[in-house]
Structure 1
Amino acid sequence: MRGAASLLVVDDDARVRTVVCWQLEAEGYDVHEAADGYAAWAGIERHRPDLVVLDLSLPGLSGLDLLRRLRAAGDVTPVVVLSGRDGEGDRITGLDLGADDYLVKPFSPGELAARVRSVLRRTVGRDPSGRGATDGQAPRPPATGGGAARLRIDHGTREVEVDGEPVPLTAKEFDLVAFLHAHPRQVFTRAQLLEHVWASSHGWQSEATVTEHVHRLRHKLGPGHLVTVRGVGYRSGP
């Protein structure tokens, strides 16, 4: 039985990525992100996501070209297009190239989450929480081995290692992971983390700041070290 479904959010607008990732994390998904088509291609190969949320207007490799390349390679990873292109021709092209759904900006994050759930149900055969197959199909195997890698935090030198390998972190990334791991399994809201880690409770920092730092830490540390508690916030793992 595998854990929460893994998603890749691809958009060159950092604000859109933050909103989408925040919503999908709140739904219980394991979310990665990419800012352009080439990074998305690499992210798909690295993370083997269960579903990709894809913008069409990307620098470098466009969303349509990425989708075309995926399907030409025989990759059937479900794709939900999230695009500012609202013309009928773009929607038809995207769907003809193999997109599983198409949502036009501006959009409702709640509606996007509902469409992701729907696509996962009918294409992967899993419920949104990742508890297993829902239509008789076997769940897809995990992309990586079980369990999180060993994390070591040295407060004196402010250094972090994963399985003995040093991981470069910014000062605030270190502060965040160190704080969470100093309070094992305790759940903190984004507002509480802003207060404790950023010493901010008066609005000069947005809660999106916490979300962005958690995403970056997950990319650097690997899965399992920072856990999203749906509808609440974050805790250390496992």
Structure 2
Amino acid sequence: MKILIVEDDADLREITTRSLEKERYVVSQAPDYRTALCKIEDYDYDCILLDIMLPDGSGLDLLEELKAMGKRTNVIILSAKDSLEDKVQGLDLGADDYLPKPFHLAELHARIKSLLRRNQREGEQSLRFGNIEVFPDRFRVMVEGKEVDLNRKEYDILYYFMCRPGRLVNKNTLAESVWGDHIDQVDNFDFIYTQIKNLRKRLKEAGATPELKSVYGFGYKFVVE
């Protein structure tokens, strides 16, 4: 699951990033309006933590941009501006929640999980495809009721495809979603091929019916045949 933090306070940005990474989220940062706009244009996020008061613009304008792009992204406004007008305007523009500063990280984590559950197969506690069941809150994977041991990236890849069964996924999109924005700096995708190969092996050994199929020249598709 990938989160974008749009926040101009460097200390708060870093503290929040470290806290979320401990919860196994892929986290990207934007210190200002321009950087945030570039990121939401180029990438998709499961959740955006959005400050209203940015040095070069307003977080409310970013909400309008998201709406204009047609991107359905969970947004939690994090702002010291706790006026009723800002709160109502943010929610009207598509924000899902509003958390005033200062806030407790434990509450932020709970609100993020609540939002993601709400959009995850109508609020179910697990994802199912074929005979695979994934429990996101506990990072557990079961095949026919038996737990499958995966490393973090194998799990992240599987979770990504469990949310998109049957969809054709470009390898660049997969890499950026699982490894983050800095994927632009790598020379090749050998590390993805390795993780995909290992995940396929583990699922096959566990007797999973869904398969990660390669689509030549494009990417992958998670299907049951």
> TM > 0.5 between the two?
yes
Q: Secondary structure at the match of 1:28?
A: coil
Q: Decide which of 137, 144, 163 is 2:187's aligned counterpart.
A: 163
Q: C-alpha separation between the residues in 1 aligned to 2:17 and 2:174?
A: 24
The answer to whether the 8 Å contact 1:34/1:40 transfers is: yes
Q: Which residue of 1 aligns with 2:4?
A: 8
Q: Which residue of 2 aligns with 1:168?
A: none
Q: Secondary structure at the match of 1:86?
A: coil
1:162 aligned partner, one-letter code: V
Higher helix share: 2
Q: Decide which of 7, 11, 32 is 2:28's aligned counterpart.
A: 32
Q: C-alpha separation between the residues in 2 aligned to 1:71 and 1:94?
A: 12
Between the aligned residues of both structures, percent identity stands at 42
Change in 2 beyond 3 A, CA 1:33/1:137 = closer
Q: CA deviation at 1:101?
A: 0.7
Q: CA deviation at 1:70?
A: 0.9
Q: C-alpha separation between the residues in 2 aligned to 1:138 and 1:48?
A: 14
Q: Secondary structure at the match of 2:57?
A: coil
Q: C-alpha separation between the residues in 2 aligned to 1:72 and 1:163?
A: 33
The answer to whether the 8 Å contact 2:6/2:31 transfers is: yes
Q: Decide which of 72, 78, 84 is 1:82's aligned counterpart.
A: 78
Change in 2 beyond 3 A, CA 1:108/1:145 = closer
1:144 aligned partner, one-letter code: T
Q: Decide which of 57, 60, 64 is 2:56's aligned counterpart.
A: 60
Q: C-alpha separation between the residues in 2 aligned to 1:12 and 1:34?
A: 8
The answer to whether the 8 Å contact 2:40/2:66 transfers is: no
Change in 2 beyond 3 A, CA 1:145/1:26 = closer
Q: CA deviation at 1:162?
A: 3.3
Q: CA deviation at 1:36?
A: 0.7
- Structure 2 unmatched ranges of 5 or more: 122-126, 128-135, 140-155, 180-184, 189-225
The answer to whether the 8 Å contact 2:67/2:93 transfers is: yes
1:163 aligned partner, one-letter code: D
Q: C-alpha separation between the residues in 1 aligned to 2:95 and 2:13?
A: 19
The answer to whether the 8 Å contact 2:33/2:58 transfers is: yes
Q: Which residue of 2 aligns with 1:144?
A: 173
Matches within 5 A, 1:93-104: 93-104=89-100
The answer to whether the 8 Å contact 1:56/1:63 transfers is: yes
Q: C-alpha separation between the residues in 1 aligned to 2:94 and 2:120?
A: 15
Matches within 5 A, 1:91-130: 91-125=87-121, 127-128=136-137, 129=139
1:71 aligned partner, one-letter code: K
More contact order relative to length (CA 8 Å, sep ≥ 6): 1
The answer to whether the 8 Å contact 1:19/1:109 transfers is: no
Aligned residues: 146
Q: C-alpha separation between the residues in 2 aligned to 1:124 and 1:78?
A: 12
Q: CA deviation at 1:137?
A: 6.4
- Structure 1 unmatched ranges of 5 or more: 149-160, 165-238
The answer to whether the 8 Å contact 2:8/2:55 transfers is: yes
RMSD between aligned alpha carbons?
A: 2.7
Q: Which residue of 2 aligns with 1:219?
A: none
Q: Which residue of 2 aligns with 1:17?
A: 13
